[in-house]
């Protein structure tokens, strides 16, 4: 494997409960009495509310720490609360603008420079203090707030669906995002999967939550702190494992943890992928063959309303987690050896962003007639600079080898989505692939052959790959090719929100979940889509995501991620398909090192 993973706890992925969602609606009943939006001022009225006056949180004996989901929400009335967050380039800082809509009139308000540093949310938004039964303050901290967090309606006449994305992206090379709380909705102030647990002993506490002054002043939020009684209960694996069926019934939507670490990348072609052989809603995840002992089953945990992004973090070697798993958690999971797979899907009260977006259906028949490439909008494929860069030796499988591994993303800047269908002739091993084109009304107006799709039968892959979608190359200091990765076939999925401010960006793309995106062995046809504003990440723990650097001298190199290398796909611009990331190799054979300088203002390896 490309990175050694120390022993550690498994991440517990949790769900919101129907009761909590209902509590939001009940508690927010007073807010529903706000003036009618037609007569009130267009500026949204924001309020902090608490879903309940008390919560119970769990602390595990062998994994101490409490996830401080207190059930507080920010509501928006008299219009939606909307922010547009962008950067012109990686040389420019991230800036945020509030968007105010009044009928057909739209105005903007620039937020203070330096207020936001990245795309993960508003930093230092909520102030949380916790006192124990004796009145002693035992915890005081500020927390960031993603307006796209787990949310729900607070009144029945609010829009049935929120138009805003379900997450704040955390890919280090994100270019643009839209954050918002729909009018008549409430968004959880808890940072969810981005938050770290806090240390609280079993007992009773009082938590006080408020919006910090700079945001109250900026957005006109009343200074009305919320108070929540907190009960921390201590639990243990032994007690849960000994309770048998009772323990199982306590967590009907949990699944057992996947085992172990990721497979080797690049050099042997074996190892795991994202586990398409299991449906994302399987009751339990099978263990993934890997080095190290299997992780113990996940103990039941109280459901929460914790936030979770819409997207998978890209193709990875584990059984499917909720398709909302963010890149930050994936990075942590590589260090913690495993994470949970969990049942997902739309259900009443499930508003944490873990919905499974179904894969697109291919055309019923392969196209007939003359292939044409009409003069209509086409996709614009672009590459992000490589990240998640690390080095390792070949371990016991390939002794004496050194590898440079990396994560890569190719995204679609639009203004049209990339749609590729594969059709299989009976008995043939390859599918014939076709790219489709659409007019402004969404009507199919042309197609062209564009290569093939191939079935990957390896355990952990088991899906159809579109060939020649991208290429990876390691360039020398003079930017001439030194090593080329063998990976040039990809299962396309909308794993990352790269820039939701581009024209025609789809804030709710389909096929975000890899188990829906790329077909099965007996598929006669398959459709793979890269939607506008979204990208497809392949993480550094996958076959093909590494270079053999055993014989390379130390020095400066560039990792090149190249989209559409053979120009087989028709797009608006073929000149922006390449992205370079500088790396400096050092060390000795079997103990190579890599330094990854900042890429302009982005200092993430």
* pLDDT for res 464: 84
When comparing pLDDT for 61 and 316, which is higher? 61
When comparing pLDDT for 479 and 359, which is higher? 479
The closest of 302, 299, 65 to 197, measured between CA atoms, is 65
Is the peptide bond between 415 and the residue preceding it cis, with omega within 30 degrees of 0?
yes
- The full DSSP string for 145-175 is E-TTSSEEESSTTS-SS--S-S-----TT--
For residue 197, is pLDDT > 80?
A: yes
Mean pLDDT estimate for the chain: 75
8-state DSSP, 194: G
Which has the minimum average pLDDT: 150-159, 328-337, 381-390?
328-337
For residue 579, is pLDDT > 70?
A: yes
**Integer Cα distance of 132 and 173 in angstroms:** 42
Beta-carbon count within 10 A of 469 CB: 27
For residue 331, is pLDDT > 60?
A: no
Q: How is residue 17 written in tokens?
A: 């409960």
3-class SS shares of the chain: helix, strand, coil, % to 5: 10, 35, 55
- The full DSSP string for 428-497 is -SEEEEEEEEE-TTS-EEEEEEEEEEEEE-STTT-EEEEETSEEEEEEETTS-EEEE-S--EE-----EE
Residues 6+ apart with CB under 8 A from 37: 77, 78, 79, 183
* pLDDT for res 515: 56
* Residue 267's pLDDT band (cuts 50, 70, 90): very low
For residue 353, is pLDDT > 70?
A: no
> Averaged over 487-504, what is the pLDDT?
85
- The full DSSP string for 350-371 is --SS---PPPPPPPSS---S--
For residue 135, is pLDDT > 70?
A: yes
Q: Based on C-alpha coordinates, what's the Rg of the chain?
A: 24
For residue 209, is pLDDT > 80?
A: yes
* pLDDT for res 204: 97
Residues 6+ apart with CB under 8 A from 461: 273, 276
**Integer Cα distance of 194 and 120 in angstroms:** 9
What is the separation, in whole angstroms, between the first and last Cα of the chain? 18
**Integer Cα distance of 25 and 152 in angstroms:** 8
* Residue 62's pLDDT band (cuts 50, 70, 90): confident
Distance of CA 152 to the CA centre of its chain: 20
Q: Give the model confidence (pLDDT) of 274-302 as tens digits.
A: 322 222 222 222 222 222 323 333 333 33
- What global pTM score does this model have? 0.76
> Averaged over 371-376, what is the pLDDT?
93
> Averaged over 233-256, what is the pLDDT?
54
* pLDDT for res 555: 95
Which has the minimum average pLDDT: 112-121, 379-388, 398-407?
398-407
* pLDDT for res 416: 96
* pLDDT for res 392: 81
**Integer Cα distance of 556 and 580 in angstroms:** 12
- Do 379 and 410 touch, CB atoms closer than 8 A? no
**Integer Cα distance of 365 and 349 in angstroms:** 39
For residue 389, is pLDDT > 50?
A: yes
* Residue 242's pLDDT band (cuts 50, 70, 90): low
């Amino acid at each position: 494997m490309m990175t050694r993973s120390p022993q550690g706890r498994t991440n517990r992925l949790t769900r919101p409960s129907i009761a909590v969602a209902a509590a939001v609606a009940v508690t927010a009943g007073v807010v529903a009495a706000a003036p009618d939006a037609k007569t009130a001022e267009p500026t949204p009225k924001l309020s902090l509310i608490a879903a309940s006056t008390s919560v119970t949180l769990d602390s595990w004996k062998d994994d101490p720490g409490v996830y401080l989901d207190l059930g507080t929400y920010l509501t928006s009335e008299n219009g939606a609360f909307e922010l547009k967050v962008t950067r012109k380039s990686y040389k420019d800082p991230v800036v945020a603008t509030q968007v105010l809509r009044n009928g057909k009139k739209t105005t903007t308000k620039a937020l203070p420079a330096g207020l936001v540093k990245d795309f993960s949310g508003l930093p230092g938004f909520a102030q949380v203090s916790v006192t124990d039964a004796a009145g002693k303050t035992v915890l005081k901290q500020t927390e960031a707030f993603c307006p796209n967090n787990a949310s729900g309606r607070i009144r029945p006449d609010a829009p049935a669906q929120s138009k805003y994305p379900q997450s704040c992206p955390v890919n280090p090379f994100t270019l643009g995002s839209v954050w918002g709380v729909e009018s008549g909705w409430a968004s959880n102030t808890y940072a969810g999967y981005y938050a770290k647990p806090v240390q609280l002993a079993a007992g009773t506490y009082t938590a006080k939550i408020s919006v910090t002054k700079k945001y109250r002043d900026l957005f006109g939020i009343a200074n009305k702190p919320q108070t929540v009684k907190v009960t921390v209960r201590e639990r243990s694996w032994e007690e849960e494992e000994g309770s048998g069926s009772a323990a199982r019934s306590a967590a009907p939507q949990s699944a057992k943890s996947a085992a172990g670490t990721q497979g080797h990348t690049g050099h042997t072609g074996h190892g795991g992928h994202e586990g398409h052989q299991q449906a994302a809603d399987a009751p339990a995840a099978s263990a993934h063959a890997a080095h190290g002992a299997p992780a113990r089953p996940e103990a039941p945990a109280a459901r929460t309303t914790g936030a979770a992004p819409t997207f998978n973090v890209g193709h990875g070697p584990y059984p499917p987690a909720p398709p909302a798993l963010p890149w930050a958690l994936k990075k942590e999971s590589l260090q913690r050896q495993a994470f949970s797979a969990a049942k997902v899907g739309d259900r009443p009260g499930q508003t944490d962003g873990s919905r499974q977006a179904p894969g697109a259906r291919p055309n019923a028949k392969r196209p007939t007639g003359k292939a044409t490439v009409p003069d209509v909008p086409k996709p614009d494929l672009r590459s992000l600079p490589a990240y998640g860069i690390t080095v390792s030796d070949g371990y016991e499988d390939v002794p004496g080898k050194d590898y440079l591994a990396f994560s890569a993303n190719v995204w679609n800047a639009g203004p049209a989505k990339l749609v590729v269908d594969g059709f299989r002739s009976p008995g043939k091993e390859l599918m014939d692939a076709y790219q489709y084109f659409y007019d402004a009304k969404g009507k199919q107006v042309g197609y062209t052959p564009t290569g093939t799709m191939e079935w990957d039968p390896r355990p952990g892959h088991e899906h159809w790959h579109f060939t020649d979608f991208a290429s990876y190359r390691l360039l020398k200091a003079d930017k001439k090719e030194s090593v080329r990765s063998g990976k040039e076939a990809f299962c396309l999925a909308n794993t990352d929100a790269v820039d939701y401010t581009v024209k025609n960006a789809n804030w709710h793309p389909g096929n975000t979940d890899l188990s829906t995106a790329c077909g099965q062995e007996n598929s006669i046809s398959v459709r793979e889509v890269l939607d506008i504003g979204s990208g497809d990440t392949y993480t550094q723990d996958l076959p093909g995501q590494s270079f053999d650097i055993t014989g390379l001298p130390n020095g400066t190199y560039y990792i090149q991620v190249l989209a559409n290398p053979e120009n087989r796909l028709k797009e608006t611009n073929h000149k922006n398909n390449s992205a370079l990331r500088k790396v400096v190799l050092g060390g000795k054979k079997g103990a190579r090192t890599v330094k990854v300088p900042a890429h302009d203002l982005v200092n993430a390896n």
